[in-house]
């Protein structure tokens, strides 16, 4: 993969609000992993964010963040993408992990 292709893949990383019953339940970060040359998926709650800069970034960029609808499947709330593509989602609960994941998005969304 060329440097330009890696750069483009990184820039295609996205944030999505996870919505069920018209309520935002969390956020999904789809992040290009340079080491594996694939996208990683991370879900986290907005309640887990205490960092003022990250909170401001999330509020300022609400209009730029996409939406993924959650559906009930086998007793869980999942996206259609999870069912169809068999992707693995990592749950992030520690604020340090959430900040580590979101920091690059501050640059991408500039």
pLDDT at 103 over 90: no
108 or 50, which is more confident: 50
What percent of the chain is modeled with pLDDT above 90? 45
Q: Which residues, including other chains, have CB under 8 Å from residue 49's CB and lie 6 or more apart? A: 55, 58, 95, 98, 99, 102
Report which of 33, 20, 35, 47 is spatially closest to residue 101, judged by C-alpha positions: 33
Question: Which H/E stretch holds residue 65?
Answer: none
Task: State the sign of the Cα–Cα–Cα–Cα dihedral 7, 36, 77, 58.
Answer: negative
pLDDT at 109 over 80: no
- pLDDT tens digit string along 7-51? 888 888 899 999 999 999 999 999 998 889 899 999 999 887 888
Q: What is the pLDDT of residue 48?
A: 77
74 or 108, which is more confident: 74
Report which of 35, 40, 36 is spatially closest to residue 12, judged by C-alpha positions: 40
**pTM exceeding 0.75:** yes
């Amino acid at each position: 993969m060329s440097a330009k292709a890696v750069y483009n893949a990184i820039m295609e990383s996205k944030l999505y609000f996870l919505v069920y019953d018209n309520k935002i339940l969390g956020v999904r970060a789809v992040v290009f992993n340079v080491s594996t040359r694939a996208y990683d998926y991370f879900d986290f709650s907005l309640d887990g964010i205490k960092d003022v800069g990250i909170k401001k970034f999330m509020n300022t960029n609400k209009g730029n963040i996409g939406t993924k609808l959650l559906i009930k499947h086998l007793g869980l709330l999942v996206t259609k993408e999870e069912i169809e593509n068999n992707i693995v989602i990592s749950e992030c609960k520690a604020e340090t992990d959430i900040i580590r994941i979101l920091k690059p998005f501050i640059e991408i969304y500039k």
